[in-house]
Amino acid sequence: MITNFRRGLMAAALAFAVLAPASPAQADDVTLVGVTARSNRQKSDQDPATWMPMPSVHCRYLGEWVATKQRWGLAVDPAERKALLRYAADCPNARITYDPAA
């Protein structure tokens, strides 16, 4: 039992280290969306080229994804760009607003 508990703590610490923001300013830029554990496991660290949530929230997900990329000046790879454009066609009224990071 103690071994499993320790293993769980080490896994949590490793996950935190991997998910830690790249800069202190990014630590304050958090968008939380409640999801099931199954959905969270499915998404993992995939981008829209390889994973999308259920269709009813595509537009919100894409908007938040693009706003975060824009805010922090993050790159978009060719496969991700293609997926973003494909899914965005279903969101004609979407507006993306963001404040550039300082």
pLDDT at 98: 84
* C-beta separation of 94 from 88 below 8 A: yes
Q: Over the stretch 84-100, which tens digit does the pLDDT of each residue have?
A: 999 988 888 888 888 88
pLDDT at 14: 38
* C-beta separation of 69 from 76 below 8 A: yes
User: Which residues of the chain have a pLDDT value below 70?
Assistant: 1-35
Predicted structure pTM score: 0.65
pLDDT at 35: 67
> Which whole-number Å values give the CA distances from 51 to 18, 54, 78, 87, 93, in the listed order?
19, 10, 15, 12, 22
pLDDT at 39: 76
pLDDT at 54: 86
pLDDT at 4: 39
The structure tokens listed for 44 are 């993992």
pLDDT at 100: 85
